[in-house]
Amino acid sequence: MMFKRCLLSLVLAGASWSALADAAHADVEFAIIKTGKTTALKGMMVSGGGFTTKVDGNFSAILVKHGQATFLFDSGLGSKVAEQYQQDMPWWARAFFKYENPVVPARVQLDKAGIPPIERIFLSHAHWDHASGLGDFPEAVVWAAPEELKVIEHAAPGLGGSWPSQVSLKSIRWQSLEFKPQPHKVFDRSIDVFADGSVVLVPMFGHTPGSIGMFVTVASGKRFFFCGDAVWRADALKDGSPKFWPASLIVDKDREQTQHTIEQMRELVKLDPGLVVVPAHDDTVQSALGYFPSWIK
Protein backbone atom coordinates (compact mmCIF):
# COMPACT_ATOMS: atom_id res chain seq x y z
CA MET A 1 0.00 0.00 0.00
CA MET A 2 2.77 2.33 1.07
CA PHE A 3 4.62 1.42 -2.11
CA LYS A 4 1.55 2.18 -4.29
CA ARG A 5 1.13 5.54 -2.60
CA CYS A 6 4.80 6.39 -3.23
CA LEU A 7 4.47 5.43 -6.85
CA LEU A 8 1.31 7.51 -7.23
CA SER A 9 2.91 10.59 -5.69
CA LEU A 10 5.85 10.21 -8.08
CA VAL A 11 3.44 10.11 -11.02
CA LEU A 12 1.60 13.17 -9.71
CA ALA A 13 4.87 15.01 -9.26
CA GLY A 14 5.65 14.32 -12.90
CA ALA A 15 8.70 12.30 -11.96
CA SER A 16 11.06 11.21 -14.67
CA TRP A 17 10.77 7.74 -16.14
CA SER A 18 14.09 6.70 -14.59
CA ALA A 19 12.82 7.51 -11.08
CA LEU A 20 9.79 5.34 -11.77
CA ALA A 21 12.01 2.56 -13.07
CA ASP A 22 14.00 2.65 -9.82
CA ALA A 23 10.79 2.59 -7.78
CA ALA A 24 9.85 -0.62 -9.60
CA HIS A 25 12.84 -2.32 -7.97
CA ALA A 26 11.71 -1.43 -4.44
CA ASP A 27 11.49 -5.08 -3.35
CA VAL A 28 14.75 -6.42 -4.75
CA GLU A 29 17.76 -7.31 -2.62
CA PHE A 30 20.58 -9.85 -2.64
CA ALA A 31 23.04 -11.53 -0.32
CA ILE A 32 26.40 -13.19 -0.96
CA ILE A 33 26.55 -16.64 0.61
CA LYS A 34 30.23 -17.46 1.11
CA THR A 35 30.49 -21.24 1.25
CA GLY A 36 34.28 -21.53 1.31
CA LYS A 37 37.55 -20.05 0.13
CA THR A 38 40.98 -20.75 -1.25
CA THR A 39 44.22 -18.80 -1.19
CA ALA A 40 46.20 -18.15 -4.35
CA LEU A 41 49.06 -15.99 -5.56
CA LYS A 42 47.58 -12.90 -7.17
CA GLY A 43 49.53 -13.60 -10.37
CA MET A 44 47.60 -16.84 -10.78
CA MET A 45 44.28 -14.99 -10.70
CA VAL A 46 45.09 -12.07 -12.99
CA SER A 47 47.81 -11.56 -15.55
CA GLY A 48 50.46 -9.18 -14.12
CA GLY A 49 49.13 -9.66 -10.58
CA GLY A 50 52.55 -10.55 -9.17
CA PHE A 51 53.77 -13.69 -7.49
CA THR A 52 54.43 -12.36 -4.00
CA THR A 53 50.96 -11.14 -2.99
CA LYS A 54 48.47 -13.75 -1.88
CA VAL A 55 44.75 -13.19 -2.33
CA ASP A 56 41.69 -15.07 -1.18
CA GLY A 57 39.35 -16.56 -3.71
CA ASN A 58 35.77 -17.11 -2.55
CA PHE A 59 33.36 -19.87 -3.45
CA SER A 60 30.02 -18.08 -3.24
CA ALA A 61 26.38 -18.47 -4.16
CA ILE A 62 24.27 -15.35 -4.73
CA LEU A 63 20.85 -15.26 -3.10
CA VAL A 64 18.38 -12.87 -4.76
CA LYS A 65 15.02 -11.87 -3.29
CA HIS A 66 12.44 -10.33 -5.60
CA GLY A 67 9.16 -9.77 -3.78
CA GLN A 68 8.04 -13.20 -2.65
CA ALA A 69 10.40 -15.03 -5.03
CA THR A 70 13.84 -16.15 -3.92
CA PHE A 71 16.44 -17.76 -6.13
CA LEU A 72 20.15 -18.59 -6.30
CA PHE A 73 22.74 -17.65 -8.90
CA ASP A 74 25.28 -20.52 -8.63
CA SER A 75 25.40 -22.90 -5.69
CA GLY A 76 28.91 -22.57 -4.23
CA LEU A 77 30.56 -25.55 -2.54
CA GLY A 78 28.01 -28.10 -1.38
CA SER A 79 27.75 -30.65 1.41
CA LYS A 80 29.32 -33.40 -0.75
CA VAL A 81 32.28 -31.38 -2.07
CA ALA A 82 34.92 -33.64 -0.43
CA GLU A 83 33.55 -36.77 -2.18
CA GLN A 84 33.08 -34.89 -5.47
CA TYR A 85 36.65 -33.57 -5.38
CA GLN A 86 38.03 -37.00 -4.51
CA GLN A 87 36.11 -38.61 -7.37
CA ASP A 88 36.49 -36.11 -10.21
CA MET A 89 39.42 -33.69 -9.66
CA PRO A 90 42.47 -34.95 -11.59
CA TRP A 91 45.55 -35.47 -9.38
CA TRP A 92 47.74 -33.11 -11.43
CA ALA A 93 45.38 -30.20 -10.85
CA ARG A 94 44.97 -30.62 -7.10
CA ALA A 95 47.87 -28.32 -6.18
CA PHE A 96 46.35 -25.41 -8.11
CA PHE A 97 42.60 -25.89 -7.84
CA LYS A 98 41.69 -26.53 -4.24
CA TYR A 99 39.49 -25.30 -1.44
CA GLU A 100 40.08 -24.86 2.28
CA ASN A 101 38.02 -26.29 5.09
CA PRO A 102 35.67 -25.54 6.68
CA VAL A 103 33.05 -25.44 3.95
CA VAL A 104 29.66 -24.08 5.02
CA PRO A 105 27.22 -25.06 2.23
CA ALA A 106 24.54 -22.60 1.10
CA ARG A 107 21.86 -25.09 2.08
CA VAL A 108 23.10 -25.17 5.69
CA GLN A 109 23.23 -21.37 5.90
CA LEU A 110 19.76 -20.93 4.37
CA ASP A 111 18.17 -23.56 6.61
CA LYS A 112 19.75 -21.98 9.68
CA ALA A 113 18.31 -18.59 8.69
CA GLY A 114 14.84 -20.06 8.04
CA ILE A 115 14.81 -19.12 4.33
CA PRO A 116 12.03 -21.11 2.57
CA PRO A 117 13.09 -23.79 0.03
CA ILE A 118 14.76 -22.37 -3.08
CA GLU A 119 12.61 -22.89 -6.17
CA ARG A 120 15.14 -22.05 -8.85
CA ILE A 121 18.84 -21.80 -9.42
CA PHE A 122 20.50 -20.08 -12.37
CA LEU A 123 23.91 -21.53 -13.11
CA SER A 124 26.60 -19.11 -14.34
CA HIS A 125 28.37 -22.18 -15.74
CA ALA A 126 28.79 -25.82 -14.78
CA HIS A 127 32.36 -25.88 -13.41
CA TRP A 128 32.93 -27.82 -10.17
CA ASP A 129 33.20 -24.80 -7.89
CA HIS A 130 29.82 -23.41 -9.04
CA ALA A 131 27.77 -26.62 -9.38
CA SER A 132 28.94 -28.42 -6.22
CA GLY A 133 25.88 -27.45 -4.16
CA LEU A 134 23.19 -28.32 -6.74
CA GLY A 135 22.50 -31.71 -5.16
CA ASP A 136 21.62 -29.95 -1.88
CA PHE A 137 18.52 -28.37 -3.51
CA PRO A 138 16.40 -31.23 -4.88
CA GLU A 139 13.26 -29.05 -4.83
CA ALA A 140 14.80 -26.44 -7.14
CA VAL A 141 14.66 -26.27 -10.94
CA VAL A 142 18.15 -25.54 -12.28
CA TRP A 143 18.36 -23.23 -15.30
CA ALA A 144 21.35 -23.11 -17.62
CA ALA A 145 22.07 -21.95 -21.18
CA PRO A 146 21.44 -24.68 -23.82
CA GLU A 147 25.15 -24.60 -24.73
CA GLU A 148 25.99 -25.37 -21.08
CA LEU A 149 23.43 -28.17 -20.90
CA LYS A 150 25.41 -29.88 -23.68
CA VAL A 151 28.56 -29.68 -21.52
CA ILE A 152 26.55 -31.14 -18.64
CA GLU A 153 25.31 -34.01 -20.84
CA HIS A 154 28.95 -34.95 -21.46
CA ALA A 155 30.07 -34.58 -17.86
CA ALA A 156 33.42 -36.26 -17.14
CA PRO A 157 36.12 -36.06 -14.46
CA GLY A 158 38.70 -33.32 -15.12
CA LEU A 159 38.92 -29.56 -15.45
CA GLY A 160 37.18 -27.35 -17.98
CA GLY A 161 34.00 -29.41 -18.15
CA SER A 162 31.52 -30.49 -15.53
CA TRP A 163 31.65 -33.32 -13.02
CA PRO A 164 29.37 -36.36 -13.07
CA SER A 165 29.40 -36.42 -9.24
CA GLN A 166 27.68 -33.00 -9.31
CA VAL A 167 25.53 -32.65 -12.43
CA SER A 168 24.51 -36.22 -13.27
CA LEU A 169 22.37 -36.67 -10.15
CA LYS A 170 18.88 -37.92 -10.98
CA SER A 171 17.41 -35.48 -8.43
CA ILE A 172 18.40 -32.39 -10.47
CA ARG A 173 15.64 -30.97 -12.68
CA TRP A 174 17.32 -29.07 -15.55
CA GLN A 175 15.70 -26.38 -17.65
CA SER A 176 17.06 -24.58 -20.67
CA LEU A 177 17.29 -20.78 -20.68
CA GLU A 178 16.03 -19.10 -23.82
CA PHE A 179 17.76 -15.80 -24.56
CA LYS A 180 15.56 -13.30 -26.40
CA PRO A 181 16.90 -11.10 -29.23
CA GLN A 182 16.43 -8.17 -26.85
CA PRO A 183 19.66 -6.15 -26.46
CA HIS A 184 20.59 -5.20 -22.91
CA LYS A 185 23.42 -2.68 -22.42
CA VAL A 186 26.38 -4.09 -24.41
CA PHE A 187 24.84 -7.54 -24.91
CA ASP A 188 22.74 -8.41 -27.95
CA ARG A 189 20.50 -10.96 -26.22
CA SER A 190 18.99 -11.13 -22.74
CA ILE A 191 16.35 -12.55 -20.42
CA ASP A 192 14.42 -10.10 -18.24
CA VAL A 193 13.57 -12.59 -15.46
CA PHE A 194 10.71 -10.65 -13.81
CA ALA A 195 9.81 -8.48 -16.83
CA ASP A 196 10.62 -5.33 -14.83
CA GLY A 197 14.31 -4.87 -15.65
CA SER A 198 15.45 -5.65 -12.09
CA VAL A 199 17.09 -9.01 -12.84
CA VAL A 200 18.48 -9.55 -16.34
CA LEU A 201 20.52 -12.52 -17.56
CA VAL A 202 22.94 -12.19 -20.49
CA PRO A 203 25.07 -14.67 -22.46
CA MET A 204 28.82 -14.42 -21.76
CA PHE A 205 30.06 -17.39 -23.69
CA GLY A 206 33.81 -18.07 -23.71
CA HIS A 207 34.95 -19.27 -20.29
CA THR A 208 32.59 -22.19 -21.00
CA PRO A 209 30.32 -22.68 -24.05
CA GLY A 210 27.26 -21.47 -22.11
CA SER A 211 28.51 -19.08 -19.39
CA ILE A 212 26.01 -16.41 -18.36
CA GLY A 213 26.05 -13.17 -16.36
CA MET A 214 23.36 -11.48 -14.26
CA PHE A 215 22.46 -7.82 -13.72
CA VAL A 216 20.61 -6.96 -10.51
CA THR A 217 19.20 -3.54 -9.61
CA VAL A 218 18.34 -3.38 -5.90
CA ALA A 219 15.90 -1.22 -3.93
CA SER A 220 18.30 1.73 -3.58
CA GLY A 221 18.74 1.83 -7.36
CA LYS A 222 22.31 0.55 -7.11
CA ARG A 223 23.31 -1.72 -9.98
CA PHE A 224 25.37 -4.92 -9.81
CA PHE A 225 26.73 -7.26 -12.44
CA PHE A 226 27.60 -10.85 -11.54
CA CYS A 227 30.02 -11.93 -14.25
CA GLY A 228 30.75 -15.48 -13.11
CA ASP A 229 34.31 -16.47 -14.09
CA ALA A 230 34.70 -14.24 -17.17
CA VAL A 231 37.31 -12.55 -14.95
CA TRP A 232 38.46 -13.82 -11.55
CA ARG A 233 39.21 -10.34 -10.17
CA ALA A 234 37.46 -7.04 -10.92
CA ASP A 235 40.99 -5.48 -11.12
CA ALA A 236 41.36 -7.26 -14.45
CA LEU A 237 38.83 -4.89 -16.03
CA LYS A 238 40.97 -1.82 -15.35
CA ASP A 239 43.48 -2.76 -18.03
CA GLY A 240 41.67 -5.61 -19.74
CA SER A 241 44.18 -8.18 -18.57
CA PRO A 242 43.14 -11.79 -18.91
CA LYS A 243 43.85 -14.51 -16.36
CA PHE A 244 47.46 -15.69 -16.00
CA TRP A 245 47.89 -17.47 -19.35
CA PRO A 246 48.57 -21.06 -18.14
CA ALA A 247 45.49 -20.83 -15.92
CA SER A 248 43.42 -19.42 -18.79
CA LEU A 249 44.70 -22.19 -21.05
CA ILE A 250 43.35 -24.77 -18.61
CA VAL A 251 40.04 -23.18 -17.62
CA ASP A 252 38.88 -20.96 -20.51
CA LYS A 253 37.24 -23.05 -23.20
CA ASP A 254 37.51 -20.33 -25.85
CA ARG A 255 40.19 -17.76 -24.99
CA GLU A 256 39.40 -15.40 -27.87
CA GLN A 257 35.72 -15.35 -26.95
CA THR A 258 36.65 -14.86 -23.26
CA GLN A 259 38.79 -11.84 -24.21
CA HIS A 260 35.89 -10.46 -26.25
CA THR A 261 33.68 -10.80 -23.16
CA ILE A 262 36.28 -8.90 -21.09
CA GLU A 263 36.26 -6.09 -23.68
CA GLN A 264 32.44 -6.03 -23.52
CA MET A 265 32.63 -5.66 -19.73
CA ARG A 266 35.16 -2.83 -19.99
CA GLU A 267 32.76 -1.07 -22.35
CA LEU A 268 29.97 -1.76 -19.87
CA VAL A 269 31.74 -0.08 -16.91
CA LYS A 270 32.75 2.83 -19.13
CA LEU A 271 29.09 3.40 -20.03
CA ASP A 272 27.92 2.92 -16.44
CA PRO A 273 30.68 3.83 -13.96
CA GLY A 274 28.29 3.25 -11.04
CA LEU A 275 27.88 -0.42 -11.92
CA VAL A 276 29.53 -2.76 -9.41
CA VAL A 277 31.05 -5.81 -11.13
CA VAL A 278 31.12 -8.85 -8.85
CA PRO A 279 33.29 -11.74 -10.13
CA ALA A 280 32.35 -15.11 -8.62
CA HIS A 281 35.65 -15.51 -6.73
CA ASP A 282 36.67 -11.91 -5.99
CA ASP A 283 37.09 -11.72 -2.21
CA THR A 284 37.96 -7.99 -2.25
CA VAL A 285 34.71 -6.97 -3.96
CA GLN A 286 32.57 -9.45 -2.02
CA SER A 287 34.03 -8.62 1.42
CA ALA A 288 33.33 -4.93 0.82
CA LEU A 289 29.66 -5.78 0.20
CA GLY A 290 29.39 -8.15 3.18
CA TYR A 291 28.05 -11.68 3.47
CA PHE A 292 24.77 -13.44 4.18
CA PRO A 293 22.82 -13.04 6.43
CA SER A 294 23.42 -9.37 5.65
CA TRP A 295 21.56 -8.13 2.58
CA ILE A 296 22.38 -5.52 -0.03
CA LYS A 297 19.32 -3.45 -0.85
Binding site for Zn ion (CB under 5 A): 129, 229
CB count in 10 Å sphere of residue 237: 21
CB of 24 to Zn ion, least distance (A): 32
Please tell me the total number of residues recorded for the chain in this structure: 297
Amino acid at 226: F
User: Which of 148, 153, 154, 97 lies closest to 124, judged by CA?
Assistant: 148
179, 190 contact by CB (below 8 A): yes
Nearer to Zn ion, 94 or 173 (CB): 94
User: Which of 213, 139, 128 lies closest to 162, judged by CA?
Assistant: 128
CB count in 10 Å sphere of residue 73: 27
Cis bond before residue 102 (omega within 30° of 0): yes
CB of 129 to Zn ion, least distance (A): 4
Which ranges of the chain does DSSP label H, i.e. alpha helix?
2-12, 17-23, 42-45, 81-88, 106-112, 128-131, 146-153, 164-167, 236-239, 245-251, 255-271, 283-289
**Per-position b or e across 38-71, b if 16+ CB within 10 A of its CB:** bebebbbbbbebeeeeebbbbbbbbbbbbeeebb
CB of 207 to Zn ion, least distance (A): 8
Nearer to Zn ion, 26 or 214 (CB): 214
CA 121/CA 140 separation, integer angstroms:
7
CB of 2 to Zn ion, least distance (A): 41
Nearer to Zn ion, 129 or 252 (CB): 129
Nearer to Zn ion, 36 or 203 (CB): 36
Nearer to Zn ion, 22 or 229 (CB): 229
CB of 127 to Zn ion, least distance (A): 5
CA 72/CA 92 separation, integer angstroms:
32
CB of 229 to Zn ion, least distance (A): 4
Nearer to Zn ion, 183 or 246 (CB): 246
CB of 19 to Zn ion, least distance (A): 37
Nearer to Zn ion, 22 or 129 (CB): 129
